[in-house]
Amino acid sequence: MKEMTLSFRFRDEADLPEVRRIINSTEAYLALFAVDQEIFRPFFKHGYSNPKITEAIGKIDNDEALSDLMYSLREEFHSILDREGINLDDII
């Protein structure tokens, strides 16, 4: 097994937010993956388990417009991730 060590050098307390971002990057990736899997994927695959979301979707009377909207939102979400160099498949 290979080992990797990360070390941080910071000058003062002002550098701590940057260190926290690095330390929490896995959690951020997992949160973005959860958004994709729990917000967008259910619409296209198996439906939502959250009754509030299901009820709200049921109130929309134009299925084609809703599908177009959800597809566009998911596409935009992935476009933003791509622009920022984030590939959710890298963490799985």
In this prediction the pTM is: 0.72
Q: Which residue has the tokens 């080992």?
A: 3
Is the pLDDT at 83 greater than 90? The verdict is: yes
Per-residue pLDDT at 76: 96
Q: What pLDDT digit, counting tens, does each position of 29-81 carry?
A: 899 999 999 999 999 998 999 999 999 998 998 989 999 999 999 999 999 99
Measure the CA–CA gap between 9 and 18, rounded to whole angstroms. 11
Measure the CA–CA gap between 92 and 77, rounded to whole angstroms. 18
